[in-house]
Amino acid sequence: METITDLIDKIYAGTFPAAMRTQLLADIAQARDVIKLPRKAHWDEQDVVLISYADQFREADKPTLSTFSRFYQQHLQSIFPLVHLLPFFPWSSDDGFSVIDYHQVDPLCGDWQDVARLHQETRLMFDFVCNHMSSHSAWFRHFLAQDPGWDDFFISMPPATDLSAVTRPRTSPLLTPFQMADGETRFIWTTFSADQIDLNFANPMVLLRMVNVLLDYLKRGADYVRLDAVGYMWKTPGTRCIHLEKTHQLVKLFRAIADIVAPGTVIITETNVPHQDNISYLATAMMRRRWSTSFHCHRWCCTASTPARRAHCGSGPAASISAVMTPPSSTSWRRTTVSG
């Protein structure tokens, strides 16, 4: 646990309350004791990942995860030993990336038993939407109601604050006005949309709750965990508010926790940014892989292109997939948008 405590001290500069530190370490120890399912020790070229929404395939009156599981076993299991389920939690916008409840499965998709049944057939990657959550969440309702203990869960800023240096992935306003229970209007940090409220990791209680989300996913069997929009986690006005040192330290902390409670878990950072920024997450040994839209587009292009173009994909997994899954000339493609 020494690595955990050292990182906590670096992130919070000695201000992390002792009682919360004790609780955090106890939660980690409890998760370590209950997780029995071993992970694969190392990822390799055989770990070809199918990326899909949990509601991709539907049947009347059946949970979509049940339908997906059957389709996967019949048609995809021999090709993809690992399935990345994009957010399958209750959500309010952005195709699932505005999570209402981190600990529940969207009823349309099923429940945790459906996830467990799919996990019996394949290894799984979960999305950990760690930067923000839905404005419809209970957490944000507690904040707006000014309930005790929730005041600093999200980031309020005077509207005149100079935030011109902040990197903007979207064209929506960075600050969104919300009315509090006492009638005050506060301007809340919303990197991606007015419905996606950024969490305030400077508040130790936020870290405690988000670590419990990570631990829950590891207990549920996540072999890979993808950290969505991870580069934006820590905010310091006057800076770019992306890839800050404390963000890197938070990722190191998540990595260290996973290593303790579920060795072999692969942590993936979703950073759709220039290459040099991407590799900074590898260079500091925080995670084992990075997730980049452009990389996946290249791999998919190997499958969805003409035979001549597929010939340039080389001899790796993408070439194997394209050989097995050569699409017929009548194939049509569905466009989707992923947050980040």
Query: Which sequence positions are flagged as catalytic?
Result: 228
Residue 104 structure tokens: 């529940």
Residue 265 structure tokens: 């878990």
- What burial letters (b/e) apply to 222-240, b meaning 16+ CB within 10 Å? bbbbbbbbbbbbbbeeeee
Max Cα separation, the chain? 65
> φ, ψ for residue 305 (rounded to 5)?
-100, -175
Instruction: Give one word for 147, left, alpha or beta, with left for phi > 0 and alpha for psi -120 to 50.
Output: beta
> φ, ψ for residue 190 (rounded to 5)?
-135, 90
CA 320 vs. chain centroid, Å, equals 28
Residue 242's identity, in one-letter code, is: I
Distance CA 237, CA 161 (A): 8
Which DSSP category does 302 fall into? H
Distance CA 145, CA 44 (A): 48
Find out whether 94 and 196 touch, Cβ atoms under 8 Å.
yes
Q: Measure the CA dihedral 316/318/321/327, to 10°.
A: -140
Residue 23 structure tokens: 């609780």
Give the 3-state secondary structure of residue 118: helix
Sheet containing 289-291, strands listed edge to edge, beginning at the edge strand earlier in sequence: 49-52, 82-85, 123-128, 224-227, 266-270, 289-291
Residue 114 structure tokens: 């459906």
